[in-house]
Structure 1
Amino acid sequence: MATNFIHDNFLLENKYAEELYHNYSKKQPIIDYHNHLPPQQIAEDTVFENITKVWINGDHYKWRAMRTLGVNEQFITGGATDKDKFIQWGKTVPYTMRNPLYHWTHLELARYFDIYDLLNEKSAERIYVEASEKLNSKEYSTRNLLKKVNAELVCTTEDPTDTLQYHKQLNTIDYDVKVSTAFRPDKAILIANNGYNEYLDTLGASADINIDSYTDLCSALKKRIEYFSQNGSKLSDHGLDYICFEDFTEAEINAIFSKRRKGQEVSKTESEKFQTAILLFLAETYHEFGWVQQFHLGALRNNNARMHRILGPDTGWDSIGDYPQARNLSAFLNALDSKDKLTKTIIYNLNPADNEVMATMIGNFNDGSVKGKVQFGSGWWFLDQKDGMTKQLNALSNMGLISCFVGMLTDSRSFLSFPRHEYFRRILCNLLGDEIKRGELPNDMEWIGKMVADISYYNAKEYFNF
């Protein structure tokens, strides 16, 4: 009898890995402390019309694969029917072997829909019908999809101007999964971006402050941090190419801000001085509120200008950047630590060449005040796959304490992406199980099992303290 591709011991290569996963990791709840799920769909308990709407729409991982195969854009972001888009994705899946999409696809079909058939051109239409019929029932609403994967907490990501109306709505209902949010003020930081002044007008309106000076900007941001905090937020998040750190004076920052507010362009040096100042202000404010700050560093975004004009950002035209990271990041963290205003911090890199940089950087600022105060974040974006996760785990193990690691997150816009936690846990357990088998770790299941449970769940629960 043939064994399903996705089976109980998928990715688990020996008895030790199996024991670690099944006894210590599998049943742990999920704390997904960073994602981009639409809170409106959770608040309204959306039921999706079909699998394309929840699984393919908005998924730039899948879009990139389909484009590479030569699928026409009408079947990706264009006007083709949802069924035809799914069939084109089904045709693409066999060609994704050795890309994490192949594993994710079949894990997600199995965990949400109990579909264990391989998705390909022959099975696509049948799977589309079967999955879509299930999705049409209330059992597969957004809230039930989160419960189905044993989510305990999901933390979305919102701009400072957001009213948080859907988070407020969620706080009034009886729901087993806690939904929080992270504060993402990048649009206020990136002073050279087009539309900066228009954004500040919106920010000012949300904070009920006229932003005519740099001091006004800081006041508006702090007021919005306070608002987010009052509504349960305990995290911030930043998606930056790199951390800026340039010497500046207060007079310089006031002049740079005034220049930009008048509609004038700022130089690269001026922009980096301003970004240094505002990020230090924000980080000190996060410390004041007892938040966790997150920095996602290293993406090279919107590389294809033609397609960016047509489709906009976050549609699959980004890649890994090769920015210098170490010196500025060290100076930034040191400036905060020197004032004893460095809050809990998670740093994610997108360039795998920076793994050891990040793994050693966190050790400079773990001061004994909090377990794992400064964290090397899990494999992110292009690195949230088997090889990327393994390299991140190895770098952290070799140069820090993997036992203090807060584990995995989805960083996803899809309600069907949560098996990535299972994927990570299986990879972790197999890595440790293999070393037990080789005698590199002792056969101490009680202790190593506890470590696995901590990384899977308990470390994050303690660290974020929701």
Structure 2
Amino acid sequence: MRGFNDDDFLLDTLIARRLYREVAADLPVIDYHSHLQQGEIAARKVFANITELWLGGDHYKWRLMRTAGVDESFITGDQSDEAKFRAFCKVLPLAAGNPIHHWCHLELKRLFGIELSINEANAGDIWSLANAKLATMDTWAFLEQAKVEIACTTDDPADDLAQHDELARSALKTRVLPAYRPDRAMRINKPDFAEYLGQLGKAAGITIDSFAALVKALDDRVGYFHARGARISDHALDIPLSVAPVSAAECEALFARRLGGAELSEAQAGVYLRGLMEALGRVYARHGWAMCLHIGAHRNNNSRRMREMGPDTGYDSISDMSCSSSLAALLDALDSTDELPKTLLFCLNPAMNEVLSTLIGAFQDGSVRGKLQFGPAWWFNDHKDGNLAQLATLANHGVLGTFVGMVTDSRSFASYPRHDYFRRLLCRLLGQWVEAGEYPDDMAALGDIVRGVCYENAKHYFGL
């Protein structure tokens, strides 16, 4: 019987173990999509204790604790940090098969050198040992210990990126780069949309009183971000885009209607969003950027909790929104004028895996290896089975060796062992194929795949 979380964790063949140890384990990390706070990096924040590190803002763990019957006072409420940590340790053993159970044990082992099982009996020892180590670590230490070569944050177009400028001048070994996330410009029906246009216009030095002015402001800010190292944009597509072509006049009319105080229907919002995404896609193509589309989230389902706690607190789910026709139409509109940028499709609904993994093949043009990418297992798919399914689906329909690999998609500085988790799963899958006689026992070829997927492809693809 194998020991839990031993050095061969998830590596079930000799080939997998060799690939992991000889190729994957020590590669640097390029984390091209995260939600780390650049202010915490610039300030070299030291975490008060493991509760602040693990439970502060981590809606994955909050959701798990609520499901296990933990009272909210021990999650986001007024209980002490130690009491919250002990409550988490008490219920985590119930979460067999949940990736949080795997991730937390990997984090304890890799970040703190602690190999105790997380449970109620060990909570006190883990609390003391982890906190003693945390007292010697700051945010830079987390990045450098995990061999993070590049970490991309998530930044609004109106941000001044002053802390990024500060980090670029610092002695931090990790390059911390901004990524462009214009969601507030996309969400036209949000109550603060007009207020946001004022903020964006001020940053761009433009009065945004038309759709054309909005596009001009966003274009100017792409240039500002580009000068500070940005090469990636992120977009949450939470409603279907219009399938039919959209004219500039339609976008102007809808923009004026919204600024006049009217709320758009979902169909009208889809028309506006299609027009905006086309305009932005052309901007990204001109700058050589990659456009990341995050598809299939159903956000803030619980209205009571939304009122009490706000967004991103653990009340989201997978959407069954149909998006293949609208995505194909968007990609085709950009491709038809040779203005389709490098594009990653992140899918939250596993039922869409085959749909998106085949859609990307329709727009490859040989100009860039894997110009269109089926993005890594994201959010609710980021578990053992989800990662293996994403890799196998990509292999079935595309070229696995061109894949740009994993991201943390996390607010936690402790989350970098997720890259190790992914690397182990990649080596596991390749090892199983060799064992089954489905791929040659060719360490050079296998090593090229692993090295590319885990590090080199992302570096070249994003131009980082």
- TM-score, length-scaled by structure 2: 0.98
Structure 1 position 89 matched with structure 2 position 88: yes
Partner of 2:393: 395
State the 1:250 CA deviation. Answer: 2.3
Following the alignment from structure 1 to structure 2, what is the Cα–Cα distance between the partners of residues 272 and 242? 7
For residues 180-224 of structure 1, the C-alpha deviation after alignment (integer angstroms, 9 at most, x for no partner) is: 011000110121222211111211122122111112111111111
How far apart are the structure 1 equivalents of 2:128 and 2:2? 24
Q: Deviations over 1:130-151 (max 9, x none)?
A: 11121112xx110111111111
Deviates more, 1:243-252 or 1:170-179: 243-252
| 2:428 aligned residue | 430
Q: Is the 8 A contact 1:240 1:298 kept in 2?
A: yes
SS of the residue aligned with 2:236? Answer: strand
Map 1:170-181 onto structure 2 (within 5 A).
170-181=167-178
SS in 2 for 1:31: strand
Which range moved further: 21-30 or 244-253? 244-253
Residue number in structure 1 paired with 2:245: 247
Contact 2:89 2:118 (C-alpha < 8 Å) held by counterparts: yes
2:176 aligned counterpart, secondary structure: strand
CA distance in 2, matches of 1:207, 1:404: 37
Q: In structure 2, what is the equivalent of residue 103 of structure 1?
A: 102
**Which deviations, in whole Å up to 9, do the C-alpha atoms of 1:12-68 show, x marking residues without a partner?**
111111011111111111000000000011111111111111111111110011000
1:284, 1:342 within 8 Å by CA — same for their partners in 2?
Answer: yes
Aligned with 1:418 (options 403, 416, 419): 416
Q: How does 1:108-187 map to 2 (within 5 A)?
A: 108-137=107-136, 140-187=137-184
Q: Is the 8 A contact 2:11 2:428 kept in 1?
A: yes
Checking the alignment, whether the CA contact within 8 Å between 1:300 and 1:320 is kept in structure 2 is yes
Please, which of 289, 309, 312 is the counterpart of residue 310 of structure 2?
312
Instruction: Name the residue aligned to 2:375.
Output: 377
* Secondary structure at the counterpart of residue 346 of structure 1: strand
- 2:331 and 2:249 mapped to 1: Cα distance? 23
Query: 2:69 aligned with 1:70, yes or no?
Result: yes
Instruction: Give the ranges of 4+ consecutive aligned residues of structure 1 lying more than 6 Å apart after TM superposition.
Output: none
Q: Tell me what 2:271 maps to.
A: 273
For residues 392-446 of structure 1, give each alpha carbon's deviation from its aligned partner in whole angstroms, at most 9, with x where no partner exists.
1111000000011011110000000000111011011011111111111111111
Instruction: Give the RMSD, CA atoms, in angstroms.
Output: 1.2
SS at match of 1:157: coil
Greater mean alpha carbon deviation, residues 437-446 or residues 418-427: 437-446
Identity fraction in percent: 46
**Paired letter, 1:215:** A
Aligned equivalents of 1:143 and 1:197: distance in 2?
38
Cα deviation, residue 261, structure 1: 0.8
Query: Is the Cα–Cα contact under 8 Å of residues 159 and 183 in structure 1 kept in the other structure?
Result: yes
Tell me if the contact between 1:436 and 1:442 (Cα under 8 Å) persists in the aligned partners: yes
The 5-angstrom pairing of residues 330-409 of structure 1 reads 330-409=328-407
- Give TM-score, length-normalised by structure 1: 0.97
Provide the aligned length of Structure 1 versus Structure 2: 463
Equivalent position to 1:446, from 444, 447, 464: 444
Gapped regions of structure 2 (runs ≥ 5): none
Distance 1:101 1:218 in 2: 40
Q: Residue 323 of structure 2 aligns with which residue?
A: 325
Say whether residues 1:229 and 2:229 are aligned partners: no
Q: Which residue of 2 aligns with 1:188?
A: 185
SS at 1:153's partner residue?
strand
Distance 2:253 2:368 in 1: 39
Q: Given that residues 5 and 116 in structure 1 are in contact (C-alpha distance below 8 angstroms), is that contact kept between their aligned partners in structure 2?
A: no
Distance in 2, matches of 1:148 and 1:3, equals 28
State the SS of the aligned residue for 1:179: strand
Counterpart-to-counterpart distance in 2, 1:9 and 1:242: 42
Deviations 1:274-320 (A, max 9, x none): 11111111111011111111001000000000001000000000000
CA distance in 1, matches of 2:354, 2:457: 22
Determine the C-alpha separation between the residues in 1 that align with 2:434 and 2:67.
Answer: 40
Letter in 2 for 1:17: A
Answer yes or no: is the 8 Å Cα contact 2:240–2:270 preserved in 1.
no
- Matched-pair contact (CA < 8 Å) for 1:359–1:376: yes
Amino acid at match of 2:131: S
Query: 1 CA distance for matches of 2:285 and 2:2?
Result: 52
Return the alpha-carbon distance in structure 1 between the equivalents of residues 279 and 250 of structure 2: 15
Q: CA deviation at 1:243?
A: 5.0
Instruction: Report the equivalent of 1:47.
Output: 46
C-alpha distance in 2, partners of 1:354/1:371? 23
Paired residues for 1:8-23 under 5 Å = 8-23=7-22
Q: Which moved more, 1:242-251 or 1:90-99?
A: 242-251
Show the counterpart of 1:199.
196
Query: Secondary structure of 2:154's partner?
Result: strand
8 Å contact 1:180–1:232 — kept in the other structure? yes
Residue 249 (structure 1) shift:
2.6
Rounded Cα–Cα distance in structure 2 between residues aligned with 1:186 and 1:31 = 23
Contact 2:240 2:322 in 1 (8 A): no
* SS of residue matched to 2:292: strand
- Give the partner amino acid of 1:205: K
Task: Report the alpha carbon displacement of residue 4 of structure 1 after superposing the two structures with TM.
Answer: 5.4
Q: CA deviation at 1:128?
A: 1.1
Tell me how far 1:106 sits from its aligned partner. Answer: 0.2
Q: CA–CA distance in 2 between the matches of 1:460 and 1:247?
A: 32
Residue identity matched to 1:201: G
Cα shift readout 1:218-239 (whole Å, capped 9, x = no counterpart)? 1111111111111111110001
SS of match in other structure, 2:83: helix
Look up the equivalent residue of 1:187 and give its one-letter code: R
Task: State the SS of the aligned residue for 1:158.
Answer: coil
